[in-house]
Amino acid sequence: MAISRRDVLLGSAGALGAASFSFPAPAIADSEPIKIGCLAAMTGPSSAPTIGFNRGVNFAVEAINAAGGVKGRKIEIVMRDTQGDPTKAVNATQELISQVKVHAIWGPFNSGEALATTPIMARAKIPDIHPCVVETLIDPTKYPNAFRMAPSNSQWDDAVRNYCLNVLKVKKIAVIGDTTGYGVTAVGASVAAFKKDGADVVYQANIDATQPDMTPDMLRAKNAGSEAIVVWSVTTGMEARMFNTRAAMNWDVAFVGHPSLASGDIAGLVEKPENWKKVYAIGYKSCSYDAAGKLPPKSQELVDRLTKAGIALNDTLLWWIAGGIDAVELFAKAIETSGSTEGPGIIAYLNGLNKYPGYFGTYTFTPTQHNGYPTEDIVMSEASTARNGTFALAPGYS
């Protein structure tokens, strides 16, 4: 039979039309791995938390996958090294969303990066869990997809104030920070909150972190009658100099404040080990041991599991590892409960989370509150008592 040009045209049009009909999606999607993107500063100066978080993430993923995955689907972590650089974090976020097509993102791990990436993730409606402290990163109206599983700055501030006023029972406070944007903001907020609670802020200062001699500020704080010095800084050199100056002045005032007061770097910077005593850094109930040296049972169980799995604890913090595990398990639970990897389902699950017992903390989210970590789980630790990533509770806790 001869085929006319008209037949060819008709056949082509028919084929094109048939190709445009929708076919049912193949069942392959249900067996595809669940892709969780991870924005991690794996190298560079701010890589220490990432190392800890990643140990937890890998531990949790291996455990879930070994148990058969989430409804038969394996979890796959797609890690991107941001080097702590917001520009690299933005590029990595865009790549994870548009090319890798991840189902959820864990991270980034510092506020500078998160300030840049959070609006991008919000536009793409990608569920995001992060541990960054800056207040403005959480706004359920602007960023309904973003959830914080660690304390915010104001929660740290509340915990420090509570310890000074209700546990140490001191009223005359000195508040000192460094001259970075963080130091200036944190000192301002802390002073305002102390005054609101009726405390007498007798001295406040922002000190250049490279200032070699802390005697002038410490002398002024002492002359003003300070009964406790609250420190908001991440600069261990400045903190160690203040401890050394306190010893040289024969002053036994307590330092209370930022977690960096417990940084291992300080051990080499204090002139004598006893200069680091009576220093209380922000810590967490789940990662603090009591006077008998015992961790809470759930944390001890985790430490035992981690030790059995050969995961090192002595060069990191337990809360980083626990936080990494919790983040992965939260996503897994969300996908299991919602029955899909679609963003709205994961976000709806997280919005309804009520007192979820994680290893790091007990999380609660609502549609209007995405700060999930309870303030009452924040405690003060004896700064110089690090043991396998945990610390001794500061005096005053039963």
Partner 1 sequence: MLASILASGLAAGAIYALVGVTYNTMFSTSRVMSFTAGQLAMLGGVFGSMFTLKLGVPAIAGFVLTLIGCALIGIITEFVAVRPVLKSLDQHLYVLSTLAVALMIQQVAAIKWGTEPQPFPRLIGWGTGVTDEKFWLPVVACAITILGLEYLYRRTLVGRAFLAIAEDNFAARALGLPERNLRIASYALAGVIGGIAGFSGGELLLAFFANGALLNFYGFVPVALGGLGNNRGAIIGGLALGLFQQAANFMVGGIFSSVAVFTLFIVVLLTAPQGLFGASTARRV
Q: Which residues here bind partner 1, judged by CB under 8 A?
A: 44-46, 179, 205-213, 215-217, 219-220, 235-237, 240, 248, 263, 265, 268-269
Q: For residue 136, which amino acid is it?
A: T
In terms of Cα–Cα distance, which of 170, 175, 173, 136 is closest to 154? 136
Residue 95 to residue 263: CA distance in whole angstroms:
34
Q: How far is the CB of 206 from partner 1 (least distance, A)?
A: 6
Q: How far is the CB of 55 from partner 1 (least distance, A)?
A: 20
How many Cβ atoms sit within 10 Å of the Cβ of residue 278?
A: 19
- Cis amide bond preceding 108, omega within 30: yes
Q: How far is the CB of 262 from partner 1 (least distance, A)?
A: 13
Q: Which two tokens stand for residue 52?
A: 């800890």
Residue 229 to residue 222: CA distance in whole angstroms:
10
Nearest CB to partner 1, comparing residues 207 and 306: 207
Q: How far is the CB of 264 from partner 1 (least distance, A)?
A: 10
Nearest CB to partner 1, comparing residues 208 and 376: 208
Distance of CA 120 to the CA centre of its chain: 19
Residue 143 to residue 159: CA distance in whole angstroms:
26
Nearest CB to partner 1, comparing residues 212 and 297: 212
Q: How far is the CB of 205 from partner 1 (least distance, A)?
A: 6
Question: CA 357, 155, 334: angle at the middle one, nearest 5?
Answer: 35
Nearest CB to partner 1, comparing residues 226 and 299: 226
Nearest CB to partner 1, comparing residues 161 and 241: 241
How many Cβ atoms sit within 10 Å of the Cβ of residue 200?
A: 14
Q: How far is the CB of 202 from partner 1 (least distance, A)?
A: 14
Q: How far is the CB of 184 from partner 1 (least distance, A)?
A: 9
| C-beta separation of 282 from 159 below 8 A | yes
Nearest CB to partner 1, comparing residues 266 and 328: 266
Could you tell me which residues are beta bridge partners of residue 77? 36
Residue 122 exposed, middle or buried by CB count within 10 Å (0-12, 13-18, 19+): middle
Q: How far is the CB of 84 from partner 1 (least distance, A)?
A: 10
- Cis amide bond preceding 140, omega within 30: no
Nearest CB to partner 1, comparing residues 37 and 49: 49
In terms of Cα–Cα distance, which of 380, 391, 146 is closest to 282? 380
Nearest CB to partner 1, comparing residues 208 and 290: 208
First to last CA, the chain: 96
